[in-house]
Amino acid sequence: MVVTESQQPSPEPATEHERADWVSRLADEVIVEAERRGTRPVAASGISPSGPIHLGNFREVMSPHLVADELRRRGIDAEHLISWDDYDRFRKVPAGIDGVDESWAQHIGKPLTSVPAPPGSTEDSWAAHFRAQAEASFAQAGVRYRGISQTEQYAAGAYTEQILHAMRHRREIDAILEQYRTLPAAKDEDEALQAALASGSGAANEDDGSAGGEYYPYKPYCTACGTDLTTIEAFDDDSTEMTYACRCGHRETVLLREFRSGKLVWKVDWPMRWAYERVVFEPSGVDHQSPGSSFQVGLELAPVFGWERPLGPMYAFVGFGGVAKMSSSRGGAPVPADALAVMEAPVLRWLYARRRMNQSFDVAFGSDLQRTYDEWDALLRKAAAGTAQPAELAALERATATADGRLPETPRRVAYRTLASVVDITFGDEVQILRILRGLDEADPIVDLEPLRPRLDRVEAWVATHMPTDEHTIVRDVPDREALDALTEVEREALVLLLDGGQGLPPIEDDWTLDGLTHQTYGVAKVQRGLEPDAIVKGDKALSAAQRAFFALLYRLLVGRETGPRIPTLLLAIGSERVRALLTP
RNA sequence: GCACCUCUAGCUCAAUUGGCAGAGCAGUUGACUCUUAAUCAAUCGGUUCCCGGUUCGAGUCCGGGGGGGUGUACCA
C-alpha cells in the first residue's frame, strides 16, 4: 500500500558472488518489475494452517524470504509478507494428529480459526496452533516477515470494498472462470472428455446447490452454525442486501457492506490480495502450473482488482528421506522443527538456497544426513581456501546469514558421522564423548564440548530419533555364553592376552587410553605369532588375516555383529569393567 | 487429454548471461608401523537421451522425437 520513493540500488550493492545465483537473478527481476509497477518490492507467501506446516510448505516461505533478503542486503526497502489463510474452511480432518479423532469432523466447513486446537495445545484454535508451531521454526531459521491473518482482515472489514467490487463484477469473474470449467471441448470425440462432460452435466448441479442460480464469488459463513454450507439466494448491487440459506436450516438477509462472516472464494480471494497488498513476487507450487489453477486464472482475475499477477516462478516439491517411523506417525510429512532438531539452521537454509526453485530436492533424515553434512563441511573448507565457485559461495552466504545478522554457528566442526558414531557407542554420555574426542586431533585436542555445539546437540537428537536401527551399535548386556564356550584355543588365548596381558603385553587396564588400547588390540596377534608387541610389521598377510579375525571375534562378543566402530574407540566407550564381563572366556 | 519440470561419470548432482564438461560418493592404487564403519593423496570413469536447426562456437537457444516425474478437470 505504501508507495515508497524510488529505491535505488546502493552503488556497491553486492559482491560478485552474491550476484551469481538464482536468488540474485530473481531479485534483479523483482526490482525491474517493482519499478515498472511503481511500487515497493513486496514478496509474499500464502500458507493455509490446516495442519502441520511441513518442509514442502516451507519452500513457499523460504523462496520469497531469500529473494526479499537479497534485496535488503542491497539496501532496498523490500518486504516479505506471509498471508495466513486461516479463514479458509476446515476441509477434512487430517490423519495422524495426536488426540484428534473423527469427532473433529463436526467442524468441517468452519473457518480454521473457529475450529478447536488439538488437545494439549496452548493456542485457542486449530489455525493458531499450527501457525504458532510454524512461526517458532521460521524464527529459528532466520526468516523475517510480516504475518497477516486473513481471519483478522476479513473480520475487520478490511476487504469490504473488494468484496462488493467482486460481487458487482461477478458476471465478468464468472466468465473468466467459465473458460476453465469445462476444458475447451476439442472437436474430437475423445471418450474421456465425453465421460467428463456426461458426468458433469447432472450431478454437479445438485452438489454445489447453485442449480440455475447466479454465480457469486463470495461465500458466507452461516451465523448460526458457523459453516460455509451456504448458498446465496439473492443479492442487490445497490443496497448490498444479500440473502443466504444454510444447510443447517438458517436463512437470513443481511447487508453485505456490513456483514463480516464470509469470504471471497479462493480463486478470487488470492488475486484480490495481490492487489490489496501490491504483491510483486509470489512463487507457487507446481500444482499451480495446470491450466485453470488459481494462479493461472489469477492472470485474468487480478486486473479485475486493478492489479497484475505477480511474478510467480513455480517451485518443485521437497521430499524427505529416512524419516523414522516414530516421527512420521505424527501426521506424515516432517515439519521444519523436525529438521531443525537434527540439523543446524544454516544447513536447512542451505538446502533451500542451493537448489534452483524448479528443482526438487530431498531433506535427508536418515544416513544421507551425514552426507549432507559432509558436503556442507566440504563447502566451508572450500570457501575458506578460496576455491569455491561463486554460486556456491552465494548459497553459503544466504545459509549462514541474513540481512539482519548471522545465524548461530558451530565453532569447531567435527564431522557429523564421527560425532554420530561416538555419541552412539557412548549412549550420549558426554564425559565419555569428550574423552574419546580428546584423542581425535593431537595437534589441537578437544578439551571442551562447548565449541562443538550446537552441532553436537543435533547429532545427539539424530542418534536418538533417526539413526537407522541397523546402524546402531548395540553393546551386549550379558556375555554371549554360547560363543564363549565354543571358542578355539587360539581365540581363548587371544582374549586372555588382551585382558590380562602376558608375553610383553600389560593388563588392559594399565593404559586405558585410545593409544594404549590401540597397541593392545593390535599387539595380541603379534605376540601370538612370536613377535614383539610393538614390532613393526609390513606386508605380512597371515598376520593381517589373524588380526582381522580377532577383530571380528571381538565384534561378535561385544556387539553381536561382524563389524563395528574402531575397536579401541569401542572399548573405551564400553568401559573396562563391562569389557571384561563380556570377553572373559 | 492438457500443462509444467526433467534427462550430464556406476550413483547424487554442478557448469554465472552460449566460450576448454566439473565435484562429492562409489571404484581402483597408494600413504598413515597395523586390510576395522574417524585420516590423507593420486587415479579411473563422458557420443551431456536421439534427430535436425541457429551460431565462429550449443549441456545451455529453436523445432521434432523418445524416456522419466509432477500436477490437473466446474471445489475451496
The pLDDT assigned to A324 comes to 52
| Cβ pair A525, A550 in contact under 8 A | yes
Helices A576-583 and A489-500: crossing angle in degrees, nearest 10, is 160
Most confident of A116-120, A198-202, A518-522: A116-120
Average pLDDT over residues A538-560: 79
Q: Establish whether the CB of A312 is closer than 7 Å to any nucleic acid atom in strand B.
A: no
The pLDDT assigned to A340 comes to 92
A204 band by pLDDT with thresholds 50, 70 and 90: very low
The pLDDT assigned to A202 comes to 30
A332 band by pLDDT with thresholds 50, 70 and 90: low
The pLDDT assigned to A569 comes to 79
The fraction of chain A above a pLDDT of 90, given in percent, is 38
Q: Rounded to an integer, what distance in angstroms lies between the CA atom of residue A212 and that of residue A193?
A: 23
Q: Establish whether the CB of A147 is closer than 7 Å to any nucleic acid atom in strand B.
A: no
| Cβ pair A378, A417 in contact under 8 A | no
Q: Rounded to an integer, what distance in angstroms lies between the CA atom of residue A181 and that of residue A531?
A: 87
Please name the residue whose C-alpha is nearest to the C1' of nucleotide B22.
A389
The class (CATH top level) of A17-159+269-315 is alpha beta
Among the ranges given (A43-47, A377-381, A532-536), the one the predictor scored with the smallest mean pLDDT: A532-536
Measured between its terminal Cα atoms, the distance across chain A in Å is 81
Among the ranges given (A99-103, A118-122, A209-213), the one the predictor scored with the smallest mean pLDDT: A209-213
Q: Supply the DSSP symbol for A388.
A: S
The pLDDT assigned to A560 comes to 82
- The CA–C1' separation of A324 and B10, in angstroms, is 28
Between A149 and A429, the higher pLDDT residue? A149
Q: Establish whether the CB of A192 is closer than 7 Å to any nucleic acid atom in strand B.
A: yes
Among the ranges given (A160-169, A234-243, A483-492), the one the predictor scored with the smallest mean pLDDT: A483-492
Question: SS in 3 state form for A506-542?
Answer: CCHHHHCCHHHHHHHHHHHHHHHCCCCCCCCCCCCHH
Most confident of A83-87, A101-105, A287-291: A83-87
Q: Establish whether the CB of A534 is closer than 7 Å to any nucleic acid atom in strand B.
A: yes
| Cβ pair A92, A108 in contact under 8 A | yes
The pLDDT assigned to A1 comes to 33
Q: Establish whether the CB of A289 is closer than 7 Å to any nucleic acid atom in strand B.
A: yes
Q: Establish whether the CB of A183 is closer than 7 Å to any nucleic acid atom in strand B.
A: yes
Residue A146 has pLDDT above 70, yes or no: yes
Q: What angle do CA A378, A379, A380 make, to 5 degrees?
A: 90
Between A16 and A23, the higher pLDDT residue? A23
Cα-Cα-Cα-Cα torsion A234, A238, A241, A246, nearest 10 degrees, comes to 30
The pLDDT assigned to A248 comes to 93
Chain A residues 385-424 with Cβ under 7 Å of strand B are 389-391, 415, 417-418, 421
Residue A325 has pLDDT above 70, yes or no: no
What's the grid cell of residue A388?
569455491
Average pLDDT over residues A210-214: 56
Q: Rounded to an integer, what distance in angstroms lies between the CA atom of residue A321 and that of residue A468?
A: 12
Q: What is the CATH number of domain A481-583?
A: 1.10.10
- The CA–C1' separation of A461 and B37, in angstroms, is 20
> Domain ranges in chain A?
17-159+269-315, 325-406, 416-471, 481-583
Average pLDDT over residues A28-37: 89
Average pLDDT value for chain A: 83
Between A75 and A194, the higher pLDDT residue? A75
Which run of H or E residues covers position A149? strand A146-149
ipTM of the complex: 0.80
Residue A237 has pLDDT above 90, yes or no: yes
The pLDDT assigned to A235 comes to 95
Chain A residues 85-124 with Cβ under 7 Å of strand B are 88-89, 91
Among the ranges given (A111-115, A150-154, A361-365), the one the predictor scored with the smallest mean pLDDT: A361-365
The pLDDT assigned to A5 comes to 32
